[in-house]
């Protein structure tokens, strides 16, 4: 039965103690915060390392990446090696719903906040441990950063498959950290649902290596799916060197003839109906065999018109396409502005800034205005730390 919107955040009443830093864990807890959970971010005296951006900030420790990943949270500075501060955390855990951290196993045990110790404080706690590698394998306990995980999952060998440059290279994004953060968020939500049904908390381990391997190999395991393999790893459609943005008279365009019959159709629309009408393209196998040739011909034809002219023609015929937008210009995308995804706000200390809303929409819940990332120790007094 669907009930009316009660006006409350969906995770109202859920208390999260967040002992994570940088990207992996903070991304997970930012999602929980967006949905209304109370997230208390525990930071050491020097703060989350991600507070310090590469570019100069108005306030030290308020870098753009930190602002993006920690909105709506409360910052409490604790030195957990000090007995008085450790006691504050123990007190907070007594009525917490979730404790999430990315401290390595031996270190968190020395601090006295391993699962068994926290479970003794709160038997129903949902304890989420963000780790680099699963505890059941030989890499357990090793440090993991985004570059390390891209290397270990084969991701660094994808670009060489596309452009022929044999050097392994990283994708220029903290993609492994962010994907692992999404895994941590949905695992936590599943555990909350489980506890609502059974009354039981539990220990959750979220390993970045396994999470990102799962993400990347969904398509790229490919021929290695079978035993024995029927081909190599690497989804051919994604590593096709000719399947790239194409030049136009005034920029670049992405054209995706997704169904095979669309390949000759696009070539015809771009201005070469003679090639598109060849007998071999009446057979699906002929289109597959000629895909590189068709991509190359498309790229040779697109400079004849502007990007907007091609968009109008291709969309009229329901061909998927978009202009290639420079990274600096995405914030001004009219669709993102119109949907409210980009939200202008006023930070108490940093002034005017832009934030990205949670991309999901719900028919029975309207999110509140976005909160702000806290200054280091901003909420110390709220928890008796002065």
pLDDT tens per residue, range 107-119? 999 999 999 999 9
pLDDT tens per residue, range 224-250? 999 999 999 999 889 999 999 999 999
Residue 93 sits in the same domain as residue 172: yes
CB–CB of 48/130 below 8 Å? no
CB–CB of 117/103 below 8 Å? no
In a domain, 240, yes or no: no
Of 280, 295, 323, which residue is a domain's last?
Answer: 323
- Looking at residue 380, what DSSP letter applies? G
Residue 317 sits in the same domain as residue 344: no
In a domain, 1, yes or no: no
Residue 51 sits in the same domain as residue 190: yes
Does pLDDT of 26 surpass 60? yes
Mean pLDDT, the chain, rounded, equals: 94
Give residue for tokens 């399947």.
Answer: 243
pLDDT tens per residue, range 328-352? 999 999 999 999 999 999 999 999 9
Does pLDDT of 12 surpass 50? yes
Cα 327–Cα 163–Cα 182 angle in degrees, nearest 5: 50
* pLDDT of res. 359: 94
Any bridge partners for residue 345, and if so which? 353
Joined tokens for residue 309: 């002219």
Residues 6+ apart with CB under 8 A from 243: 237, 295
* pLDDT of res. 303: 98
Joined tokens for residue 62: 């308020």
In a domain, 237, yes or no: no
Residue 119 sits in the same domain as residue 211: yes
Give residue for tokens 């390595």.
Answer: 104
* pLDDT of res. 266: 96
In a domain, 232, yes or no: no
In a domain, 310, yes or no: yes
* pLDDT of res. 385: 86
pLDDT tens per residue, range 196-218? 999 999 999 999 999 999 999 99
User: What CATH number has the domain bearing residue 39?
Assistant: 3.40.50.10540
* pLDDT of res. 53: 79
* pLDDT of res. 2: 37
Residue 317 sits in the same domain as residue 345: no
Any bridge partners for residue 5, and if so which? none
Greatest Cα pair distance in the chain: 81
- pTM as predicted: 0.93
Q: What share of the chain is helix, strand, coil (3-state, %, to 5)?
A: 40, 15, 45
- Could you give the CA distance from residue 173 to residue 96 in angstroms, rounded to a whole number? 33
In a domain, 187, yes or no: yes
Does pLDDT of 309 surpass 90? yes
User: Which run of H or E residues covers position 322?
Assistant: strand 321-323
Structural domain count, the chain: 2
Q: What is the average pLDDT across 276-285? A: 91
Residue 39 sits in the same domain as residue 181: yes
Q: Count Cβ neighbours within 10 Å for each residue of 244-254 and write b for 16 or more, e otherwise.
A: eebebeeeebe
- Phi, psi at residue 156, to the nearest 5°? -70, -10
* pLDDT of res. 5: 62
pLDDT tens per residue, range 35-71? 999 999 999 999 999 998 777 788 999 999 999 999 9
Residue 136 sits in the same domain as residue 24: yes
Of 323, 355, 372, which residue is a domain's last?
Answer: 323
Residues 6+ apart with CB under 8 A from 361: none
Residue 23 sits in the same domain as residue 104: yes
Residue 167 sits in the same domain as residue 44: yes
CB–CB of 376/51 below 8 Å? yes
Residue 203 sits in the same domain as residue 290: no
Residue 358: pLDDT band with limits 50, 70, 90: very high
- Could you give the CA distance from residue 106 to residue 140 in angstroms, rounded to a whole number? 11
Residue 171 sits in the same domain as residue 314: no
- Could you give the CA distance from residue 293 to residue 98 in angstroms, rounded to a whole number? 55
Does pLDDT of 320 surpass 80? yes
Domain that holds residue 83: 15-216+339-383
- Could you give the CA distance from residue 189 to residue 318 in angstroms, rounded to a whole number? 38
In a domain, 108, yes or no: yes
CB–CB of 232/224 below 8 Å? yes
Any bridge partners for residue 322, and if so which? 254
- Could you give the CA distance from residue 373 to residue 356 in angstroms, rounded to a whole number? 13
Give residue for tokens 């963000």.
Answer: 130
Q: Where are the alpha helices (DSSP H) in the chain?
A: 24-34, 64-69, 83-93, 105-111, 115-121, 146-152, 158-163, 175-198, 208-220, 262-270, 273-276, 284-289, 291-301, 307-316, 334-338
* pLDDT of res. 139: 97
pLDDT tens per residue, range 130-172? 999 999 999 999 999 999 999 999 999 999 999 999 999 999 9
User: What CATH number has the domain bearing residue 254?
Assistant: 3.30.1540
Within 10 angstroms of residue 40's Cβ, the number of other Cβ atoms is 22
In a domain, 223, yes or no: no
Give residue for tokens 């870098």.
Answer: 63
* pLDDT of res. 107: 96
Within 10 angstroms of residue 36's Cβ, the number of other Cβ atoms is 18
- Could you give the CA distance from residue 95 to residue 92 in angstroms, rounded to a whole number? 6
Residue 49 sits in the same domain as residue 110: yes
Within 10 angstroms of residue 366's Cβ, the number of other Cβ atoms is 10
């Amino acid at each position: 039965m669907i009930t009316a919107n009660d006006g409350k955040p969906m995770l109202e009443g859920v208390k999260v103690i967040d002992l994570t830093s940088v990207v992996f864990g903070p991304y997970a807890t930012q999602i929980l915060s967006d949905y209304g959970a109370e997230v208390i971010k525990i930071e050491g005296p020097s703060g989350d390392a991600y507070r310090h951006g590469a570019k100069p900030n108005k306030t030290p420790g308020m870098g753009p990446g930190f602002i993006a990943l920690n909105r709506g949270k409360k910052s409490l500075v604790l030195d957990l090696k000090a007995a008085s501060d450790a006691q504050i955390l123990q007190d907070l855990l007594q009525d917490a719903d979730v404790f999430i951290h990315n401290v390595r196993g031996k270190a968190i045990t020395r601090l006295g906040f391993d699962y068994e110790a926290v479970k003794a404080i709160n038997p129903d706690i949902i304890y989420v441990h963000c780790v680099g590698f699963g505890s059941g394998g030989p890499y357990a306990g090793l440090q993991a950063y985004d570059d390390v995980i891209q290397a270990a999952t084969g991701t660094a060998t994808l670009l060489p498959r596309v452009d022929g440059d044999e050097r392994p290279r990283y994708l220029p994004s903290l993609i492994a950290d962010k994907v692992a953060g999404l895994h941590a968020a949905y695992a936590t939500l599943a555990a909350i649902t489980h506890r609502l049904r059974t009354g039981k908390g539990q220990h959750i381990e979220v390993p970045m290596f396994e999470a990102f391997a799962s993400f990347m190999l969904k398509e790229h395991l490919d021929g290695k799916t079978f035993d024995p393999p029927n081909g190599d790893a690497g989804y051919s459609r994604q590593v096709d060197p000719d399947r790239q943005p194409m030049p136009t008279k005034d920029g670049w365009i992405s054209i995706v003839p997704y169904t095979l019959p669309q390949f000759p159709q696009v070539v015809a629309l771009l201005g070469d109906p003679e090639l598109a009408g060849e007998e071999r393209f009446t057979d699906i196998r002929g289109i597959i065999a000629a895909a590189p040739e068709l991509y190359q011909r498309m790229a040779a034809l697109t400079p004849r018109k502007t990007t907007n002219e091609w968009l109008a023609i291709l969309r009229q015929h329901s061909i998927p396409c978009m202009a290639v937008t420079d990274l600096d210009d995405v914030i001004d995308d009219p669709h993102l502005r119109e949907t409210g995804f980009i939200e202008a706000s006023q930070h108490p200390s940093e002034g005017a800034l832009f934030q990205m809303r949670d991309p999901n929409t719900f028919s029975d819940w309207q999110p509140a205005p976005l909160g702000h990332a806290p200054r280091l120790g901003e909420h110390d007094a709220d928890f008796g730390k002065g």
